[in-house]
Homo-oligomer: A and B are copies of this chain.
Amino acid sequence: MKINAQRLLENLDRYAQIGKMGSIGVERIALSEEDKRARDLLKAQMIDAGLQVHIDQLGNMNGIRKGKREGNPVAFGSHLDTVYSGGRYDGALGVLAGLELIQTLNDNQIETEKPLALVNFTNEEGVRFAPDMMGSHVHAGMADLSDILNSPAYDNPNETVGSCLKSIGYDGEMEPGAIQFDAFYELHIEQGPVLELEQIDIGVVEQVQGIYWTRYKVLGEANHAGTTPVYYRKDAGFAAAKIQQFIGKYTRRKEGKVLTTVGSVKLSPDAINIVPESAVFTLDVRSTDEALLRKAQKRIDKYIEETVEADELNFEREELVRFSPVRFPLSMTDSVQIATQSLGLTYKRMSSGAGHDAQMMAHFCPSTMIFIPSVRGISHNVEEFSHDKDVENGANVLLAAVLRKSSS
């Protein structure tokens, strides 16, 4: 049994019109008007496909399909929200392939042993409200709902998650996580270049990297660039550059086992002729190995302390995120591999560099992910693209894996 590729691709295109940006991009920020329209469409399509729809207090959408037996459903899905200037596949692929899976079972009049659940998680991207992977985080019982409901928008502290959920009418009744899942599958684009480079159809995702995010502020003294002798300077920008260089070299020494990135640097006062008095920069560290992750963080923190001290400066440090690596159970990753092989497709067992809802769900039930190739590895970008054939392959692997899991 195969999914209806045409129907899925048309539906992907339909959702891509909601918040359309550029020729193929999408900007559909969590809890915005566009998010509401996409949710309304999903709800209608869920009902149309015969699902019983439950909205929880955080706006997570669960569409339940009865099985022959009672019990915990086999779940699958992802998120419908995007980043600013985002793409049409990141998140939407997993939700709409899940819907297509259900429509295919309906077409073939198949009733599974276990129930099924199609899930759309709230605010996976976390670009307007922290934290990211918000809906799955709370669903998995890893954060307090009321704290999260009070989370203010970055750009407008007067808007909170709670107030926006109300505005768009998705402040539901159900307690998050009330429906226990038997398992959770997330189909997603790779967001990296490996599958395309190696010309492989499917990524069998064994683990999600741990993510440590830290923000630092180096404090020096602003001084005139022309009149201040070097010995008198407390140049926060120079110190930050040395630190940035160390961080960049560190990852290159670790040959891929630990990834370190400085994505943001802001100097102040940021004027051509003033020695910087402060430098705020961010550090993103990732590894599938928690020990290596901790060691990298510690080594970098030590270098920062030493450098700041040697230059007679000060610094502040703020931990933003500490997500541990997550390893998916063999039974789940094997089920994806078997499904892939049964379809005659090539696969590679690999890690996910990006955080995903499945990473949170792994704390809730046996979970895993299925990757399809990203053209040039680009995502979080209006040019994000995956080939139709890969979209179809991914959806078929999802269908095969879910079918097998829901009949055992």
Q: A: which residues have CB within 8 A of B?
A: 190-194, 209, 211, 213, 215, 222-232, 235, 237-238, 240-242, 244-245, 248, 251-252, 256, 259, 261-267, 269-276, 282, 284, 286, 320, 352-355, 377-381
How distant is the Cα of A280 from the Cα of B26 in the complex, in angstroms? 27
B263 x A273 contact (CB < 8 A)? yes
Contact check, A264 vs B271: say whether CB atoms are below 8 A apart: yes
Which chain B residues lie closer than 8 Å to A245 at the CB level? 238, 241-242, 245
Name which residue of chain B comes closest to A225, CB basis: B261
One of B193, B224, B240, B256 near A353 (C-beta < 8 A): B224
Contact of A248 among B222, B225, B241 (CB under 8 A): B241
Task: Tell me whether B229 and A252 are in contact (CB under 8 A).
Answer: no
Task: Give the docked Cα–Cα distance between A151 and B237 (Å).
Answer: 31
Q: Which residues of B lie under 8 Å from residue A263 when comparing CB positions?
A: 225, 237, 267, 269-276
| 26 residue pairs from A and B, CB less than 8 Å apart | A191-B227, A192-B228, A192-B229, A193-B228, A194-B229, A213-B272, A223-B377, A223-B378, A224-B377, A226-B286, A227-B352, A227-B353, A229-B256, A230-B251, A230-B256, A232-B377, A235-B261, A238-B244, A240-B241, A241-B241, A241-B242, A241-B262, A245-B245, A263-B267, A263-B270, A265-B270
Q: Give chain B residues whose Cβ lies under 8 Å from the Cβ of A264.
A: 267, 270-272
- Selected from B224, B237, B377, the residue in CB contact (under 8 A) with A228 is B377
| Shortest beta-carbon contacts, A-B, top 6 | A192-B227, A227-B353, A226-B353, A241-B244, A225-B261, A238-B248
Once the chains bind, are B262 and A228 in contact (CB under 8 Å)?
Answer: no
Question: Are B355's CB and A226's CB within 8 A?
Answer: yes
Contact partners of A232 in chain B: CB under 8 A: 193, 377
Complex Cα–Cα for A222 and B355 (A): 18
- Inter-chain pairs besides A230-B259, A263-B269, A263-B270, 18 sampled, C-beta below 8 Å: A191-B227, A193-B229, A211-B226, A224-B353, A229-B259, A230-B251, A231-B256, A237-B262, A241-B245, A245-B245, A261-B273, A261-B275, A263-B275, A263-B276, A264-B267, A265-B265, A266-B266, A266-B270
> In the docked arrangement, what's the CA distance between A354 and B228, Å?
10
Whether B267 pairs with A226 at a CB distance below 8 angstroms is no
- Assuming the contacts A245-B238, A245-B242, asked whether A259 and B209 have C-beta atoms less than 8 A apart, the reply is no
A275 cross-chain contacts in B, Cβ below 8 A: 261, 263
Could you say which residues of chain B place their CB within 8 Å of the CB of A272? 213, 215, 263-264, 282, 284, 320
The residue on B at minimum CB distance from A197 is B232
User: Are B248 and A379 closer than 8 Å at their CB atoms?
Assistant: no
In angstroms, Cα B400 to Cα A16, docked, is 78
A229 to B286: give the CA distance in the assembly, Å.
11
Q: What residue in chain B is nearest A378 (Cβ atoms)?
A: B223
Q: Cα distance A81–B407 when bound, in Å?
A: 80
Contacts of A256 on B, CB cut-off 8 Å? 229-231
Question: Inside 8 A of A271's CB, which chain B residues have their CB?
Answer: 263-264
CB distance from A93 to the nearest CB of B (A): 15
Bound together, the chains give a CA A267 to CA B274 distance in angstroms of 18
Complex contact A226–B209 (CB within 8 A): yes
Q: Report chain B residues within 8 Å CB of A269.
A: 263
- Chain B residue numbers with a CB within 8 Å of A261 are 225, 235, 273, 275
Which of the residues B190, B237, B267, B276 comes within 8 Å of A227, measured between beta carbons?
B190
Docked complex Cα distance between A269 and B127 (Å) = 13
The residue on B at minimum CB distance from A284 is B225
A191: chain B residues at CB < 8 Å are 224, 226-227
A244:B248 contact, CB within 8 angstroms:
no
Q: How far is the CB of A228 from chain B (nearest CB, A)?
A: 6
